[in-house]
A and B are shown apart, each in its own frame.
Chain A
Amino acid sequence: MGITEQDARLPEEVVKQLAEGRLATEQMILNVGPQHPATHGVFRLLATIDGEVLVDAEPIVGYMHRGYEKLVEQRDYRQITNLVSRMDWLSGINNELPLALAIETLMELDVPPRAQWLRVILAEMNRILNHLMFFQSFSAELGAITPTFYAFREREDIQYAMEMVTGGRMHFGFFRPGGLKEDVPRGFYDQALKGVRQVIARLPDYEDLLIGNEIFKQRTINVGVLSKESAYQYGVTGPIGRGSDVDMDVRRDEPYLVYDQFDWEVQSASHGDCFDRFWVLLHEVVESAKIVEQAIEGVPSGPVLGKVPRVIQAPEGEVYIRCENPLGELGMYLVSDGDRRPYRIKIRTPSYSNVSALREILRGTLVADMIAILGSFFFVLGDVDR
């Protein structure tokens, strides 16, 4: 049909479609977020959708920027330890770890072996906490409401163990340069083992509930495929990267603490879709549980804090330490000028790089798939925005 003057006021794309004689559809701009149940926090996705198909999706971050890298310039190292556990708040202690390691490297402190083993135990328990949380959120976004409560139940035991040691359930402030703040109380090993063993025992249930579920498989297999090249280009690490066949794990490649003394495997999968990422997530829980068990068996006795000066002043220098946060590779680039406070800390967070890969994946998917992909991308807004 011909284009009249009236049509000229229509959007360009509609005019074009009319000229071609097709049914004119308009693209709608939909703001997913910053307040939305499916995004894990204040994350905004500017989606342009055509019916149910996403034409473009632009992630807009920064709604939770708190100025960490400026805050830490005004605080000394112990205060910073308490601040950084608020980045990836689902596994608070893994954020404190690279900071402690960086300070120890600069100051050349000796960390007693007992502290190292206990650090591994706490870090791996936090990894389980983090992964269970994402197991829950992924399922809830797909519509399965029950795994939420199962996951939180398992988290409860482990969080109680963390509370016994550190006093907190989410923000710990427990690692100090040179070791730990204090030693673990009586009953911690029992509680930790109980929590961890329960997780392992319940894992077949979760697998039956979700991984074996045909509906789940239909929603996640071949959905949101992140190719290996894209993963490398965007710097995607962690379970997301390993789900795309990026075989990297800092715990195995550059072992810190005592990770090279345990018998565990790095989980990875090769298809790069939501199902694979979820698979890697679940099986990493098992591996972490194995590490915790082995670590509790072999914790040496001794002090938990090495010989540390009363005032912690890192000498001049700079160091980059990276650790395997549950979400990926967390790196801290610490520049010190000899003061009690750092000159600069640049924090390389895994979620930031992971989120940057979203735009490419989301193109051409359906709206419901967008939710599934967002769910399968494990990121925490505090980690993205700092």
Chain B
Amino acid sequence: MPDINLTDWQILLVKLAIILTVVPIGALAGGYVLHKEMAHMQHRLGPMYAGGFHGWAQTLADGIKFIYKEDIIPAAADKRVFTLAPAIVFAPVLMLYLVIPIDRSLIIEDLDVGLFYLIAIGSVGVIGVLMAGWSSANKYALIGGLRAAAQLIAYELPIVLASAAIAMLAGTLSVVGIVEAQDWPFLVWPPGIGLALFVVFLAGAMAEMSLPPFDMPVAESELITGPFTEYSGMRFIFGFFFAEMAHMIAFAAIGATLFLGGYKPIVPWEPLENIPGVVWFFVKTAFMVFLLLWIRFTFPRLREDQLQKFAWKFLIPVSLALILVTGGWVLYA
């Protein structure tokens, strides 16, 4: 890398620019992967037209279409809250990308408390969802908002506890540090514990993003789109579709970082070191995306009370137990 001396402000701008380009592109790519994967799992082809070759520009075309749409605010809605809600949902997602390590030195900002920052920022979006549901002046949206609030709060804890266990295993909260601490990915070592932690983390992450089977808030066949029913045009895209895609990719990247070894090779074997870390990172993130979507397409959704039971009566006790076990492992192994 050539020696570039930039002032702090310029560096800040560069980083902002990177995030603001990467995230939308990532969301578009994620949307495309979603369409295609879903299609092929269902014996279909998915997008084939937009852009010519197998419809690569489908999500881009969708985004542009949404820009053209009329911006409707229901008369009975609370205008200020209504307009703010998508922003509050989307902004934290953008900020998640701050601490995702693409390579050893390719990270926007290597915070010492990277993991903590991730979890904290990830939970801000709940307020946005509640705001959207409440201000829409729509009974269905209200139900969706209530469900979402309950669900997101409930599933914070499994994520937190699983991440805490990972931090214990790695000995640091810094994201780069966690990757460096993984010779073998945490998924396979410590054996069993890593897998259990991964499952807990996955469940929590899917619930945070309102992905099926935890998508009660946006149960399409019941509540149409849940709290975002009344939104149209760009507000809808930013608050719902974009945020969901970007969030999914962010969590996929985080999962790859925490459990699959980030930018390190999948197994500590000499020849694999030649492949650059960026490639490893992308491969692992892609696998995580695939996994998340695969689960999404297979299962029906859990009912709200079953969802809550699953979180409070199963996931949280299990993750607490896992912390104990991990602690034991760290001390004695």
Binding site for B on A (CB under 8 A): 28, 30, 37-38, 52, 139-146, 148-150, 153, 209-210, 213, 215-216, 218-219, 366-369, 371
Contacts and interface: CB of A to CB of B under 8 A. Distances in A.
Interface string B26-38: 0000000000001
Interface residues on B, range: 20 to 34
Interface in B283-331: 297-306
Given A37-B222, A38-B221, A144-B298, 14 more contacts: A28-B139, A139-B300, A143-B213, A143-B219, A144-B299, A144-B300, A145-B297, A146-B42, A150-B42, A215-B299, A216-B300, A219-B300, A219-B306, A371-B219
B283 to A, nearest CB: 26
A239 B43 CA distance: 29
B41 A38 contact: no
A215 B214 CA distance: 11
A370 to B, nearest CB: 9
B178 interface: no
A368 B297 contact: no
A218 B303 contact: yes
**Taking each of A141, A215, A371, which has the highest tally of chain B beta carbons within 10 Å of its own beta carbon?**
A215
Interface string B187-226: 0000000000000000000000000110110011110100
Given A30-B139, A150-B42, A368 B221 contact: no
6 contacts: A52-B305, A140-B221, A142-B301, A143-B212, A146-B42, A150-B42
A95 B140 CA distance: 37
Q: Top 5 closest A-B pairs, CB basis?
A: A143-B301, A149-B42, A142-B300, A144-B300, A143-B300
Given A37-B221, A37-B224, A52-B304, A143 B299 contact: yes
A150 B215 contact: no
B143 interface: yes
Contact of A209 (B143, B298, B302): B298
B80 interface: no
A369 B219 CA distance: 13
A366 B297 contact: no
A37 B223 CA distance: 9
Nearest to B42: A149
Q: Classify the interface of chain A: helix, strand, loop or mixed.
A: helix
B308 to A, nearest CB: 11
A215 B297 contact: no
B69 interface: no
Interface in B205-257: 212-213, 215-216, 219-222, 224
Contacts of A140: 221
A52 B307 CA distance: 14
Given A142-B301, A149-B43, A367-B143, A215 B213 contact: yes
Contacts of A216: 300
Contacts of B215: 143
Contacts of B212: 143, 145
B299 A150 contact: no
Given A143-B212, A218-B306, A368 B299 contact: no
A38 B222 contact: yes
A366 B299 contact: no
A142 B212 CA distance: 10
A135 to B, nearest CB: 13
Contacts of A143: 212-213, 215, 219-221, 299-301
A213 B298 CA distance: 10
A38 to B, nearest CB: 5
Contacts of A369: 303
B139 A218 contact: no
Interface in B1-50: 38, 41-44
Contacts of B41: 146
Given A144-B300, A366-B305, A149 B221 contact: no
**Taking each of A38, A143, A210, which has the highest tally of chain B beta carbons within 10 Å of its own beta carbon?**
A143
A9 to B, nearest CB: 21
A241 B292 CA distance: 39
Nearest to B301: A143
Contacts of B143: 52, 367
B101 to A, nearest CB: 34
Nearest to A145: B297
Contacts of A210: 300
Contact of A141 (B213, B221, B297): B221
Contact of B222 (A209, A215, A371): A371
A234 to B, nearest CB: 25
A209 B299 CA distance: 8
Contacts of B222: 37-38, 141, 367-368, 371
B300 A215 contact: yes
A144 B299 CA distance: 5
Contacts of B42: 145-146, 148-150
A368 B216 CA distance: 9
Contacts of B38: 145
A309 to B, nearest CB: 49
Contacts of B43: 149-150, 153
A366 B44 CA distance: 35
Interface in B113-146: 139-140, 143
